[in-house]
C-alpha cells in the first residue's frame, strides 16, 4: 500500500512548526526519523492532512549541558546520541539503553525524541526517561511547559501531548560521577522490542544507597517506575540489601499482560529474576571495588 495524500511542510524554526500544528486543527503529524511513522503511513493506519518535517530545525538537534542537567534535542539521531561524549560522561545508563534500541540501521534515522514521544511500552527510551527523572519540554503556540517523564505517559502509545504540541527537548537531571548503572532486557532477537526490561541508576554515598531511579519496560501499558524497590534501597548499606526481596517489590509495581509473545506470568517470573541478578551483580562489583 501507499500513503494517503497529504501536504508536506518543512519549518525552519520551532515557532513556525507550532503555528502549522495549531492551524492544522489536529490534522498534522510530526516526522523526524520516521521509523514508526512511515510504516503506519504506508499501511494507512495514519492519515494526516499535513506532514510536518522538523529535521530542518537546528534548535531541535544535539546534546547540551544546562544548569543541573543535560538537554537532548528531540531530533537528535539515536546513533549520534550513542556516540556523544557528554552523554557518555553524565548519563551512562541512557547510553547503555540506547545501545539496545532497534538495530544499527534504524538508529541512524531514529531519533531520541521520536522514541520518547511515541511511548512504546516495551521500548528503552521512554523507560530510561522515567528511571532517570527526565522532564519533557513541550512547546505550542501558547507557550512552553515541562512535564515529568513519569507523568507524560498515560496509556499504550498515549501521552499528555495535544495535537498542537511539539516536544522540543528532553532534560535529564545530573547523576553524580561514579553512579551505578542498572540495565537488562530479554527479547526474542537482538533489536526486537523487549519482552521484559529494566533500566536505572543508583548513587552510593558512604557505603549506602543515597539515590535510586529504576523503571520497567515491557511490563505494563506504559513505562513503570519501580517505586517500592527504590524506597527499599534508599538508605540501605550494600550488605543489608536482599536483591531477591527488592526484586519482588519491583515486580509488585508492574502490570504485565498476555500477548502472542509472552504471558503475564512469564514476564513477572523473568522480571523478578533479571532484576535480582542485575542488582546483585552491580552491588557485587561495587563492593569489590
| Distance from C-alpha of 80 to C-alpha of 85, rounded to nearest angstrom | 10
Q: What is the pLDDT of residue 284?
A: 84
CA distances from residue 7 to 49, 70, 109, 116, 161 in whole angstroms, order as listed: 6, 35, 22, 25, 22
Distance CA 37, CA 54 (A): 14
SS3 letters across 74-92: CCCEHHHHHHCHHHHHHCH
Which CATH number applies to 7-53?
Answer: 3.30.43.10
One digit per residue, pLDDT tens: the chain, 289 residues? 688 999 999 999 999 999 999 999 999 999 999 988 888 888 888 999 999 999 999 999 999 999 999 999 999 999 999 999 999 999 999 999 999 999 989 999 999 999 999 999 999 999 999 999 999 999 999 999 999 999 999 999 999 999 999 999 999 999 999 999 999 999 998 888 899 999 999 999 999 999 999 999 999 999 999 999 999 999 999 999 999 999 999 999 999 999 999 999 999 999 999 999 999 999 886 766 6
Res 289: pLDDT: 60
Q: Residues 266, 272: contact at Cβ < 8 Å?
A: no
CATH number listed for the domain at residues 180-288 = 3.30.390.50
| pLDDT value at residue 101 | 96
What CATH number labels 58-173? 3.30.465.10
Q: Which of 67, 69, 101 is nearest to 82 (CA)?
A: 101
Domain regions of the chain by residue span: 7-53, 58-173, 180-288
Write out the three cell numbers for 123: 521500548
Output the pLDDT for position 288: 62
Residue 43 CB partners (closer than 8 Å, separation 6+): 1
Contacts of 276 (CB under 8 A, 6+ apart): 243, 244, 246, 247
Of 170, 234, 166, 165, the C-alpha closest to 204 is 234
Given this model, what pLDDT does residue 192 score?
A: 87
CB count within 10 Å of CB 75 equals: 24
Amino acid at each position: 500500500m501507499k500513503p494517503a495524500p497529504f501536504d508536506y511542510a518543512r519549518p525552519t524554526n520551532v515557532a513556525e512548526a507550532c503555528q502549522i500544528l495549531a492551524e492544522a486543527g489536529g490534522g498534522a503529524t510530526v516526522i523526524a526519523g520516521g521509523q514508526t511513522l512511515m510504516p503506519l503511513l504506508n499501511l494507512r493506519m495514519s492519515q494526516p492532512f499535513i506532514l510536518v518535517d522538523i529535521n530542518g530545525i537546528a534548535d531541535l538537534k544535539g546534546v547540551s549541558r544546562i544548569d543541573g542537567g543535560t538537554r537532548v534535542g528531540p531530533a537528535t539521531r539515536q546513533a549520534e546520541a550513542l556516540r556523544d561524549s557528554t552523554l557518555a560522561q553524565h548519563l551512562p545508563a541512557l547510553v547503555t539503553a540506547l545501545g539496545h534500541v532497534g538495530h544499527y540501521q534504524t538508529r541512524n534515522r531514529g531519533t531520541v525524541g521520536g522514541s520518547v514521544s511515541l511511548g512504546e511500552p516495551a521500548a528503552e527510551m521512554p523507560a530510561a526517561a522515567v528511571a532517570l527523572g527526565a522532564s519533557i519540554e513541550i512547546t505550542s503556540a501558547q507557550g512552553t511547559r515541562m512535564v515529568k517523564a513519569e507523568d507524560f505517559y498515560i496509556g499504550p502509545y498515549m501521552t499528555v501531548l495535544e495535537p498542537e504540541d511539539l516536544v522540543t527537548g528532553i532534560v535529564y537531571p545530573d547523576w553524580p560521577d561514579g553512579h551505578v548503572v542498572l540495565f537488562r532486557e530479554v527479547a526474542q532477537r537482538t533489536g526486537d522490542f523487549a519482552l521484559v526490561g529494566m533500566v536505572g541508576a543508583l548513587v552510593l554515598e558512604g557505603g549506602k544507597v543515597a539515590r535510586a531511579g529504576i523503571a520497567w519496560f515491557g511490563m505494563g501499558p506504559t513505562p513503570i517506575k519501580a517505586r517500592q524497590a527504590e524506597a527499599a534501597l534508599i538508605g540501605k548499606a550494600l550488605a543489608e540489601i536482599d536483591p531477591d526481596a527488592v526484586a519482588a517489590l519491583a515486580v509488585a509495581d508492574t502490570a504485565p499482560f498476555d500477548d502472542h509473545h509472552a504471558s503475564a506470568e512469564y514476564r513477572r517470573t523473568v522480571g523478578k529474576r533479571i532484576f535480582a541478578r542485575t542488582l546483585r551483580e552491580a552491588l557485587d562489583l561495587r563492593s569489590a571495588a
